[in-house]
Structure 1
Amino acid sequence: MSQQSGTPGSSAPASPSDVLRYTAFSGDPEGGNPAGVVLDASGLDDEAMLAVAAELGYSETAFLTEADGRAYTIRYFSPKAEVPFCGHATVATAIALAERDGPGDLVFSTRAGTVPVTVARRGDELRATLTSVEPQVTEIAPDDLAEALAALDWPAADLDPSLPPRISYAGARHLVLAAATRERLADLAYDFARLEALMHRIDLTTVQLVWREGPAVFHVRDPFPVGGVVEDPATGAAAAAFGAYARELAVVPEAAVLTLHQGEDMGRPGTLTVELRAGDSRVRVTGTGTRIG
């Protein structure tokens, strides 16, 4: 590390020109989910961080505001608002730090709680594994579910009855809706304002749309209107929430490794690996990443 305590580095406080650009959950700069990363945001207030995120236009930008060794305070802003936790920006930031300081263990203090991250080198790739905060899975009110389906223009008959709707949390709240067919998942044209209004009312970060290809393989999409983005290309927080959902509903065994494919319908394919461990309710999400440009 260039500095063991105080601010996260030796450079001057960040400005928009200091934003690093990484993609998470893909080794291809044209795949996965792009994120902004500011390794020293100690001189930026909330308004400035939001302005940086809005100018960049990615679904989230991560800002390191304090550091103590390999422990950091991290904040996440979409173009419209701060969010409590963002998985892909966490992975992007961890890989950026590993490129600067070497692989190993990191600890991120987020608004949602403490998130440990381990970065390991596998061949030519760096892979980051985040461990979620304690998850929760709850029912969704029938009227709210009906409104979500109406905003998506998804008939209830198009849902997979073996994967019932739930709200799942592993750092942020996501509504999990499972499509019965891959064609249903691929056909996404929703009422942005209507879905955004519902999500604000019931405190959702994204809607996790899912289609099950096999016992442990899923395809997912994530509308993100509350962040000012039509769709998120690869969503680590939602992947963690889905892992909690899958275990809670016994969709998979208590200990399992799930593969989530996301971004294919957007032309930005990415892969998220979700690990569930027996005796540990937290969820681990792993992915690679690379610098853009």
Structure 2
Amino acid sequence: MKGLGRSPALSLTNLLPNALIARARGGLYLAPMTRYSEVSAFTDTPGQGNRAGVVLGAGELSGAQMQALAAFVGAPETVFVTRLGHGLVRVRYFTPAQEVDFCGHATVALGRVLAQEGHWRGGALTLETLAGQVPLRLLLGAGGECQVWMRQPGFERRAVGRPLHAELAEALGLSDRLIHRGLPLASASTGLWSVFVPLLDAVILDGLEPDLERIRDLSERLDVASVYAYAPLGVGRFAARDFAPLLGIPEDPVTGSAGGALLGLLASEGRVPVRSERACGVVYQGHAVGSPGEVEVEVEMQSGRVVAVHVGGHAAVEREGVWKG
């Protein structure tokens, strides 16, 4: 993998601030430009999975500039590194429309870029986010492959009143008779709240015709970021689609934070096998929008209670660019 075998570069061009050195009038000056990467997360194939922007040098950007750059990149989320220290990285996450507390796929994308650029070789690394601290670990494979795992912020859940079940089904374009009665319909979070709606099978999931205005309204009423529909594929395997119009994202291709919350929710209700106080699963997402990806999840349990949720995935850098803000 590019960069994994060399020492971290400490030059001005790739640490904070991440400006480009330009030549003008016979001298050097710092141009108001910012480097960024576009990364496909939860896949090892560029152009699939979920696209995220990654900005390593955001220390001198204002919140308004970060928002403008996130809109320019146009990815569902862009992660900005505002401080890069030894073992601790301070970050902020923005959709094209607003700042959010946490984003799973952008975190995986960031880990991939930090490793590629030589800033992370697999030692202890913790992200400081608005949702709390997120420890990362890097698994290196043969041929330079890597997989980024994160311990997501603490798992939480909230009940959803039964009268809302039919409204959620209708907003997704189906009858509430197609809701799976043996799986939980509830809100849950590992850093970002979603409401999880179980469907009978993946065929129903693929055929959804969501009413995004109604989903936006329900998201506001339930105080969640998205409506996340899911269906069982087998033991510990689920297909999913995530609708987040409230965040300016009609459908998120692959959602790490929600994938972790889903397995936490299922494990808390005994709907996935628990062995040696651990439950594992995989969420397949993105096929409906032509960007398939996989979210791997491991849930730590203690006396039937979720104590930690770990999410992992591959990532591939698509391209790099410069923003002239």
Same fold (TM over 0.5): yes
CA distance in 2, matches of 1:235, 1:16: 30
Aligned pair partner of 1:87 in 104, 107, 114: 104
- Please give the secondary structure, in 1, of the residue aligned with 2:115: helix
Aligned pair partner of 2:54 in 37, 59, 63: 37
CA distance in 1, matches of 2:247, 2:36: 19
Whichever residue aligns with residue 27 of structure 1, its letter is D
Give the C-alpha shift of residue 10 in structure 1: 6.0
Aligned pair partner of 2:286 in 245, 256, 263: 263
Which residue number in structure 2 is paired with residue 139 of structure 1?
Answer: 159
CA distance in 2, matches of 1:282, 1:52: 33
CA distance in 2, matches of 1:145, 1:78: 28
**Could you state the TM-score of these two structures normalised by the residue count of structure 1?**
0.93
Which residue number in structure 2 is paired with residue 189 of structure 1?
Answer: 209
Give the C-alpha shift of residue 202 in structure 1: 2.2
Give the C-alpha shift of residue 270 in structure 1: 0.7
Give the C-alpha shift of residue 67 in structure 1: 2.3
CA distance in 2, matches of 1:249, 1:97: 36
Whichever residue aligns with residue 19 of structure 2, its letter is A
**Is the alpha carbon distance of 1:253 and 1:35 closer, same or farther for their aligned partners in structure 2, counting shifts above 3 Å?**
same
**Is 1:103 equivalent to 2:121 in the alignment?**
yes
CA distance in 1, matches of 2:219, 2:171: 11
Give the C-alpha shift of residue 187 in structure 1: 1.2
Whichever residue aligns with residue 227 of structure 2, its letter is V
Give the C-alpha shift of residue 229 in structure 1: 1.6
- Which structure 1 segments of 5+ residues have no match? none
- Please give the secondary structure, in 1, of the residue aligned with 2:117: helix
- Please give the secondary structure, in 2, of the residue aligned with 1:153: coil
**Is 1:288 equivalent to 2:295 in the alignment?**
no
1:59-111 Cα deviation digits (max 9, x unpaired): 10000111221311111101111111100000000110011124313210111
**Alpha carbons 1:80, 1:226 under 8 Å: kept:** no
**Is 1:226 equivalent to 2:252 in the alignment?**
no
Structure 1 residues 30-39 or 146-155, which shifts more?
146-155
Structure-to-structure mapping, 1:11-22, within 5 angstroms: 11-12=18-19, 18-22=35-39
- Please give the secondary structure, in 2, of the residue aligned with 1:180: coil
**Alpha carbons 1:103, 1:121 under 8 Å: kept:** no
Which residue number in structure 2 is paired with residue 275 of structure 1?
Answer: 298
Give the C-alpha shift of residue 185 in structure 1: 0.2
Which residue number in structure 2 is paired with residue 112 of structure 1?
Answer: 131
Percent of pairs with identical residues: 30
**Is the alpha carbon distance of 1:100 and 1:187 closer, same or farther for their aligned partners in structure 2, counting shifts above 3 Å?**
same
**Alpha carbons 1:137, 1:244 under 8 Å: kept:** no
**Alpha carbons 1:103, 1:120 under 8 Å: kept:** no
Q: Which structure: larger Rg?
A: 2
CA distance in 2, matches of 1:29, 1:226: 27
1:210-239 Cα deviation digits (max 9, x unpaired): 110111111111111112121111100001
- Which structure 2 segments of 5+ residues have no match? 1-7, 21-30, 320-325
- Please give the secondary structure, in 2, of the residue aligned with 1:19: strand
Structure 1 residues 7-16 or 277-286, which shifts more?
7-16
**Alpha carbons 2:149, 2:312 under 8 Å: kept:** yes
Structure 1 residues 14-23 or 156-165, which shifts more?
14-23
**Alpha carbons 1:8, 1:65 under 8 Å: kept:** no
**Is 1:74 equivalent to 2:91 in the alignment?**
yes
Structure-to-structure mapping, 1:234-249, within 5 angstroms: 234-249=254-269
Give the C-alpha shift of residue 199 in structure 1: 0.9
Which residue number in structure 2 is paired with residue 123 of structure 1?
Answer: 142
**Alpha carbons 2:156, 2:188 under 8 Å: kept:** yes
- Please give the secondary structure, in 2, of the residue aligned with 1:94: helix
CA distance in 1, matches of 2:204, 2:33: 39
How large is the RMSD of aligned CA atoms in angstroms? 2.0
Whichever residue aligns with residue 195 of structure 2, its letter is L
**Alpha carbons 1:8, 1:66 under 8 Å: kept:** no
CA distance in 2, matches of 1:16, 1:268: 30
